[in-house]
Homo-oligomer: A and B are copies of this chain.
Amino acid sequence: RDRAHILRYFALKWALCFLVGALTAAAAFVANLGVENVAGAKFVVTSNLMLARRFESAFTVFLVSNFVLTMFATVLTVYVSPAAAGSGIPEVKAYLNGVDAPNIFSLKTLVVKVVGCIAAVSASLHVGKAGPLVHTGACIASILGQGGSHKYHMTCKWLRYFKNDRDRRDLVTCGSGAGIAGAFRAPVAGVLFALETVSSRWRSALLWRAFFTTAMVAVVLRALIDICKTGRCGLFGKGGLIMFDVTSGYINYHVVDLPPVITLGVLGGVLGSLYNFFLDRVLRFYNLINEKGQTYKLLLAATVTICTSCCLFGLPWLATCKPCPTGGEEACPSIGRSGNFKKFQCAMNEYNDLASLFFNTNDDTIRNLYSAGTDHEFHLSSIILFFMASYFLGIFSYGLALPSGLFVPLILTGAAYGRLVGMLIGSQSTLDHGLFAVLGSAALLGGSMRMTVSVCVVILELTNNLLMLPLVMLVLIISKTVADAFNANVYDLLVNLKGFPFLEGHAEPYMRQLSVSDVVTGPLQTFNGLEKVGRIVDVLKTTGHNGFPVVDEPPFSDIPLLYGLVLRAHLLVLLRKKDFISSCTASALDASKHFSPDDFAKRGSGKHDRIEDIELTADEMEMFVDLHPFTNTSPYTVVETMSLAKALILFREVGLRHLLVLPKSSKRAPVVGILTRHDFMPEHVLGLHPYLIKSRWKKVRFGKSAFTNFF
Contacts and interface: CB of A to CB of B under 8 A. Distances in A.
B650 A700 contact: no
Given A473-B218, A637-B637, A643-B634, A453 B650 contact: no
A139 interface: no
Interface string A181-192: 000000110011
B203 A207 contact: no
A573 interface: no
A173 to B, nearest CB: 14
A641 B633 contact: yes
A363 interface: no
Interface in A215-247: 215, 218-219, 222
Contacts of A515: 634
Interface in A134-187: 187
A191 B453 contact: yes
A559 B663 CA distance: 14
Contacts of A637: 637-639, 642
Interface stretch (A65-73, A278-286, A456-464): A456-464
A643 B637 CA distance: 12
A204 B211 contact: no
A204 B200 CA distance: 9
A221 to B, nearest CB: 9
Interface string A549-564: 0000000001101100
A617 interface: no
Highest count of chain B CB atoms <10 Å: which of A207, A215, A466: A466
Interface string A633-665: 110111101110010011001100000001011
Interface residues of A, number: 68
Nearest to A223: B255
Given A474-B219, A561-B664, A7 B464 contact: no
A467 B464 contact: yes
Contacts of A700: 3, 6-7, 10
Contacts of A203: 505
A38 interface: no
A562 B664 CA distance: 8
A204 B208 contact: no
A187 B634 contact: no
Contacts of A643: 634
A650 to B, nearest CB: 6
A559 B218 CA distance: 66
> Chain A interface mostly helix, strand, loop or mixed?
helix
A653 B202 CA distance: 11
A4 to B, nearest CB: 10
B559 A667 contact: yes
Contact of A470 (B202, B207, B219, B646): B219
Contact of A666 (B222, B559, B638, B650): B559
A473 B211 contact: yes
A452 B665 contact: no
A366 interface: no
A29 interface: no
B469 A187 contact: yes
A662 B662 contact: yes
Contacts of A3: 700
Interface string A85-120: 000000000000000000000000000000000000
Given A505-B203, A638-B637, A666-B666, A215 B453 contact: no
Interface in A1-27: 1, 3, 6-7, 10
Interface in A555-604: 558-559, 561-562
A400 interface: no
B208 A452 contact: yes
B215 A204 contact: no
A196 B634 CA distance: 31
Contacts of A266: none
A211 B470 contact: no
A351 interface: no
A446 B219 CA distance: 19
B196 A477 contact: no
Contacts of A665: 558-559, 561
A396 interface: no
Given A196-B204, A212-B477, 13 more contacts: A188-B453, A191-B453, A196-B207, A204-B505, A205-B505, A208-B480, A211-B452, A211-B453, A215-B473, A219-B470, A461-B466, A561-B664, A662-B662
7 contacts: A6-B700, A188-B456, A192-B192, A207-B452, A634-B642, A637-B638, A654-B654
